Amino acid sequence: MSVKEDSEESEESEDGTSKLEKNKLIKKSSAEEAADDAEAVKITEPEKRTEVEQDVITVEPKVETAVDVSAPALEITGLGLNVKSLLVIAPELFQRISKESILRCRVFRKKNILDKAHPSFFMYNEGDEKFLMAARKRKKSKDVNFIISKSLDGLTKNSKDYIAKLKANSQRTNFILMDARNFNEKAGNKGLKEIGVINYSKTVLPREMNVAIPLESIEDNSANCVDILKEMSNKNSDKIMFLKNKTPRWNDATQSHCLNFGGRVSLPSIKNFQLVSEKDEQTIIMQFGRCGPDFFSLDARWPMTPVEAFSIALTAFDAYDSA
């Protein structure tokens, strides 16, 4: 099986554009976040990469999904070959991607030199080369707990840019995405509202993922949102879309599980995946995969929202079988 362990060293990445600020320091958190951020150190915004590394398949003790270079590229838009004209520009983070468009992004991981177990992540839209979201794993949380922000310097729960929370159970098999735009320490459930569920099965290898997201856009007033946990338990497909990862095929030649990413992914990794609907396994709704030690590509389409796509990708780094 194909395996490649995560790099132990953080790398800066070049983006080839002058529009992104270089080496911008993320501010330390406020007094309210002192307990969480007491040990935090300054981290810089990663530079984008201009070169894609060559395909590498190695054999190490972990099941990974390799890149299928023998299959023809998948047309993930399904709307013709002129993909560039269909890229989403300035997307609303909680709005569904239109059926005529595709969100194509780059995700960068920035490891803390003094604490590699709590990296930060940054997502940029390839359609307009703009920053979209950042995420940071909280240090003082017992379980995996991500703060998601719409700014580079708002990675605290008391920031006005705090928009979502992603939390895992102790086994790291179940992740719940919560809308945090109405966060209030004094409100019921602190103003958080569940808007997505990602499950990993421990019974099969390679990874098996199941995702539930609401079909409608997520209103800013969380009281009007779908009760996703209730609708999921009722298997209400009128309000919830159920997604699963596309099963990789076994390649005897490379002795690995393979998926065709249409040239968007270049390195084998346990984090590589594609999501399809339970009702339509031919249409890829989201795909995510490794292009370098700390550089990943992310593509998503309707009915995904940018915040859902980013959050689902984050779970790949901390699922039960991650290093």
What confidence score (pLDDT) does residue 64 get? Answer: 59
H or E element that contains 36 = helix 34-37
The answer to whether the pTM exceeds 0.85 is no
Dist. CA 265–CA 224, nearest whole Å? 38
- 35 vs 201, more confident: 201
Q: Write out pLDDT tens, residues 110-143.
A: 987 777 778 899 999 998 889 999 999 887 777 8
CATH code of the region 31-315: 3.20.90.10
**Token digits of residue 151:** 């700014």
pLDDT for 161 beyond 90? yes
3-state secondary structure of 10: coil
Tell which wins on pLDDT, 53 or 46. Answer: 46
- In the numeric block, the tokens 């959050």 are attached to 311
If phi over 0 gives left and psi between -120 and 50 gives alpha, with beta otherwise, what is residue 290? beta
pLDDT at residue 35 tops 50: no
User: In the prediction, which pLDDT does 148 show?
Assistant: 96
pLDDT for 81 equals 36
CB-based burial of residue 312 (10 Å sphere; 0-12 exposed, 13-18 middle, 19+ buried)? buried
Calculate mean pLDDT across residues 223-234: 72
Cβ atoms of residues 161 and 147 within 8 Å: no
Distance between CA atoms of residues 167 and 212, nearest Å? 15
Alpha carbon of residue 229 to chain centroid? 21
Cβ atoms within 10 Å of 25's Cβ, excluding its own: 11
Task: Please state, in angstroms and rounded to a whole number, the distance separating the CA atoms of residues 299 and 285.
Answer: 8
Amino acid 303 reads P
- At residue 224, the pLDDT reads 52
Report pLDDT digits (tens) over 250-293: 888 877 888 888 889 988 888 999 999 988 888 999 999 999 99
Confidence at 246, pLDDT banded by 50, 70, 90: very high
For residue 143, the model assigns a pLDDT of 81
Tell me whether residue 296 is exposed, middle or buried, using C-beta atoms within 10 angstroms of its C-beta: 0 to 12, 13 to 18, 19 or more.
Answer: buried
Which residues touch 152 (CB under 8 Å, ≥6 apart)?
Answer: 24, 26, 45, 122, 131, 134
Domain-by-domain residue ranges, the chain? 31-315
R_g over Cα of the chain: 19
Phi, then psi, of 315 in degrees rounded to 5 = -65, -25
List the beta bridge partners of residue 174: 199
What is the four-CA torsion angle of 258, 261, 264, 270, rounded to 10 degrees? -40
What percent of the chain has a predicted confidence (pLDDT) above 70? 69
DSSP codes, 169-200: -TTSSEEEEEE-TT--TTSGGGG-EEEEEEEE
pLDDT digits (tens, 9 = 90+) for 48-84: 433 333 333 322 334 556 555 444 333 443 333 345 5
pLDDT at site 234: 79
